[in-house]
Amino acid sequence: MREDDPLLSVSDLRMHFPVREGLLLRTARFNRAVDGVSFDIAPGETLGLVGESGCGKSTLGRCIARLYRPTAGNVTFAGTDITHLRGRALMPYRRDIQMIFQDPMESLNARHTVGDILEEPLIVQKVGTRAERAARVRDLLDIVGLPARSASRYPFEFSGGQRQRIGIARAIALNPRLVICDEPVSALDVSIQSQILNLLVDLQREFGLAYLFIAHDLAVVKHISDRIAIMYLGRIVETADSEDVYAHPEHPYTQSLISAIPIPDPHRRAERIVLAGDVPSPIDPPSGCAFHPRCPRVMDTCKRVRPALAQSDQGHEVACHLGAEEPGS
């Protein structure tokens, strides 16, 4: 891996789940949860991935962490194509790529003590002696701001924010290089959300972590992301630097998400763009631009031709027939 190579490169990634129907449970159709996604993440960078529930963002995260085997496309990590690795060959990448989940209570084994939970990844990866692992558990608790005595307690004895700290401690136990944060603050009170976001920022500074930060709310990713990718029905529709996305959203879907962010100034009123209908089913996506049934600026072409992600005048990557230049033009 050269110095300027991305840490993670995702290329035309697809995850299509078979839908079994009828008495014989034959596969006649597919749920196209992820349908041709490409992006890079540099070492130490945070990419915010935002979209409504059901748009495929969590499935994409799980494909990258290789909890799923993608249907097609490639996941390249630190120069190695890991898309089809299995078993032992995948072990080093299980150390390097970790996940933090939305609901720590579901992801933490309720019958194990916090000490056991934090030691488990070290045992699986055969790291250290028993004494060294115990010392590492104490270190991890200290890093995430929990007292050492937490090691002998059980997850149910902690608050939601403290449980997420335990989930974060487990995720960094093996010194990963990329952490996929799947809605890590969505289930928490607003006051606790900022504490957890600050902790993630501190850990990134200290350990040089790269993050794929998945959220359904653009306001949450604003301060943590270097770049933001907006996802709609299994595809990325806009990518740009974080500030640019908020200041000059180009895709009509991004514009509607931005318009939903409350403005903390009582003298200013933003015009809210309310979209008609719900996200369509990824089993039977609309023709042409998948956003066309809800788009306030839809044209005839949009119903027939699917727009490719292309560089815009403002330097965003946008999949829309309005104003985007064709690749190579």
First-to-last alpha carbon distance for the chain, in angstroms, is: 30
Helix (H) or strand (E) holding 126: none
Q: Which is nearer to ligand SF4, 79 or 327 (CB)?
A: 327
Kindly write out the interface string for residues 235-254 of this chain, putting x where it contacts ligand SF4 by CB under 6 A and - elsewhere: ----------------xx--
Kindly write out the interface string for residues 259-298 of this chain, putting x where it contacts ligand SF4 by CB under 6 A and - elsewhere: ------------------------------x-xx--x-xx
Q: Which is nearer to ligand SF4, 20 or 297 (CB)?
A: 297
Instruction: Report if residue 218 touches ligand SF4, rule: CB under 6 A.
Output: no
Instruction: Report if residue 57 touches ligand SF4, rule: CB under 6 A.
Output: no
DSSP classification of residue 250: -
Q: Which is nearer to ligand SF4, 169 or 289 (CB)?
A: 289
Q: Which is nearer to ligand SF4, 227 or 292 (CB)?
A: 292
Please tell me the count of residues contacting ligand SF4 according to CB under 6 A: 14
Instruction: Report if residue 231 touches ligand SF4, rule: CB under 6 A.
Output: no
Minimum gap (Å) between residue 256 Cβ and ligand SF4? 10
Residue 237 to residue 38: CA distance in whole angstroms: 11
Minimum gap (Å) between residue 304 Cβ and ligand SF4? 10
Q: Which of 16, 23, 2 is nearest to 73 (CA)?
A: 16
Minimum gap (Å) between residue 254 Cβ and ligand SF4? 9
Kindly write out the interface string for residues 307-326 of this chain, putting x where it contacts ligand SF4 by CB under 6 A and - elsewhere: x------------xxx----
Give CA angle at 233 (227, 235), nearest 5°. Answer: 45
The answer to whether the CB of 75 falls within 8 A of the CB of 64 is yes
Q: Which is nearer to ligand SF4, 260 or 299 (CB)?
A: 299
Placement of tokens 């318009």 in the chain: 259
Which residues in 139-177 are b (16+ Cβ under 10 Å) and which e?
Answer: ebbebbebeeebbebbbeebebbbbbbbbbbbbbbbebb
Helix (H) or strand (E) holding 36: strand 26-41
Q: How many residues does the chain have?
A: 329
Summarize as ranges the residues that interact with ligand SF4 (CB under 6 A). Answer: 251-252, 289, 291-292, 295, 297-299, 302, 307, 320-322
